[in-house]
Every structure is written in C-alpha cells, then in structure tokens.
Amino acid sequence: MTLQTIAFAGSRLDRADHVRCNPDKLAELSNWRARLLLLDGLDPVVSPDGRLAWGTLADADAEAELVFLGLDGERACFAQVPPSLNGNVGPANPRLWQAMATLDAGELATYGGARSMVDWHARHRFCARCGAPTALAKGGWQRNCGSCKAEHFPRVDPVTIMLVEHDGNILLGRQPRFPAGNYSALAGFVEPGESIEEAVAREVLEEAGVRVRDVRYVVSQPWPFPSSLMIGCHAFADDPTVTVDVTELEDARWFTRAEVEDAMRAIARLEGGSAFRAPPPTAVAHHLLRWWVAKG
Ligand SMILES: [Zn+2]
C-alpha cells in the first residue's frame, strides 16, 4: 500500500532535522524567501486555484511563535502559533472538509502536520511539571520550561483500528454519532503499558465482546485531530458471538465479503451499499477494507 493513497501522509516537505537543531542555520533560512503557511485558526486558507495559501514571514504576527515545517527546496516553510487560538478547532467542521477536499495529497499532508503542531504549541504554553511558561525550541519540535528546565515534545497519540475476521466475514461497528447506515472498523487509543497487539485485543473485547488472535499490522495514517496516529490492523476471531458495549457503540455486527465488496464499490460513487455505507477514502478504515477485499 503506497503512502500517497493515505490522506494526511506523503508531505513533500523535507523535515530537515539538521536545520531544526541549528539555530544559526534556522535564522539564516528565516529570510525573505521563507514561506509562511496561512491558517484561519486551525483551518487551511485555500487559494482560488485550490492550493494551500502561503505568505512570507512579514505576514506573521509580531508576537507569534514560528514552527519550522521543513524545506521546500531551498526555501524554509513555517507556520505561526497565534497568541490565542479562536474558532472551531475540532474536525466536525464542514468548511474544513470542503477546503481539504481541494488540496492534493502532498499539500493535505503538509497542512495536517502543521495543524497538529500549531494546535500542540497553542495548548502547551505552560510546563506540565511546574506550571511556568514554556518557550518554543528546535524550530518548534520541542518546548523548554524556563524554570525547571523540563523538555516537552509534540505528542502523537497512537490509536489502533482493526478489521476482525471470522469465517470470511468482517466485524464492523457504528457509533451513535455516525450518519445512518455508516459502519466502520472498531478503534481505540493505545493505553500506557500496552503493545499494539494487546490494544487491538482489548478494544475488540471491550467494544464487541469478541476475543481475537493473530493480530497483524496493515497500514497507518496520521490523523491531525488533534494528533492521532491511526494504526490499522487485522485479526482473526474464533467465536463470532458479539456483545456490544452500548456505552461506546450503537451496533457491531458481521458483514459478508459480498456485502463489503458491494459497499466499497458504492462508496467509490460516494453512495451507500445495500448492507451499509463504507468509510470514505480519507479514512484509514477505507484502506483497511480495500486491502481486505483485494487480498481475497
Ligand atoms: Zn517546568
């Protein structure tokens, strides 16, 4: 499975770690050629030709901290952390999805990474250890506490998302907030002290009462709302009896291969299938299902 097919992966910027760690080089690159990613709160600003809008460092607010996103050729790319972050910062924002739909894969990935970084900086201005103000360091890939000297790093939250298979059928569930007819792969955050395999097994047991074995990794996706890493897995179940945890899911049930194939053909036309509506191509669950259908 190629990176390019996964939404929010495949940025064309060079992350240039050697620049982050070199304040002189970073200052040298913060010149008139440097580009500033324009954001509206956390939403992308899209130009009339459907691309990310960029300004120069002269467009940055005087008080704003700058995150070094990477190099586009010789040019350094930055995003600014606004002094205060207002507006809608959640993913449930139709205007955001409309804007993202116009971006090509590389730009969507650049935007997603920048969004996660700006959001993290805006929410970590104070030290989690002692409460004193923190300052941006290493081009924004670190924050340091001025008082207790603690170092803080941008967080990535691992989430397992899994297809469970029994006798050629696949277990999918729906949350109450899903539009009618939508089903997707079960998912849940990895907890401290767990392997990915253990997190998959625990989540499926908690949400659907199903025990799994032979967990394997399939595909992953950065999901910038605010900073998840979706880890797509596959597992087998021996006993198909489902007991739904209604505090998490409205329903979970088995779908046949024919039903999944039908739903995947339908979602390619942005339609629901006869048994359920599959997740859209922006979701890693879509790629898990596509992988499963293709492997036969
Ligand atoms: Zn501190």
Query: Residue 265: what pLDDT?
Result: 97
- Both tokens of 201, joined, read 């097994």
Answer whether residue 87 shows pLDDT above 90.
Answer: no
Ligand 1 centre distance from Cα of residue 47 (Å) = 41
Give the model confidence (pLDDT) of 196-223 as tens digits: 999 999 999 999 999 999 999 999 999 9
The C-alpha atoms of residue 197 and residue 163 are separated, in whole angstroms, by 13
Mean pLDDT of 45-62: 94
**What ranges make up the beta strands (E) of the chain?**
35-37, 39-40, 43-44, 54-55, 65-72, 75-81, 134-137, 142-145, 151-152, 157-166, 169-174, 186-189, 212-223, 228-237, 251-255
Ligand 1 centre distance from Cα of residue 81 (Å) = 20
Task: Flag the least confident range among 1-15, 66-80, 127-141, 185-199.
Answer: 1-15
Considering the entire predicted model, what is its pTM?
0.94
Ligand 1 centre distance from Cα of residue 25 (Å) = 28
Ligand 1 centre distance from Cα of residue 137 (Å) = 14
Give the position of tokens 């924002």: 93
Please give the backbone phi and psi of residue 179, each rounded to the nearest 5 degrees, phi first: -60, 155
**Which domains does the chain carry?**
3-121 (no CATH), 124-154 (no CATH), 157-295 (3.90.79.10)
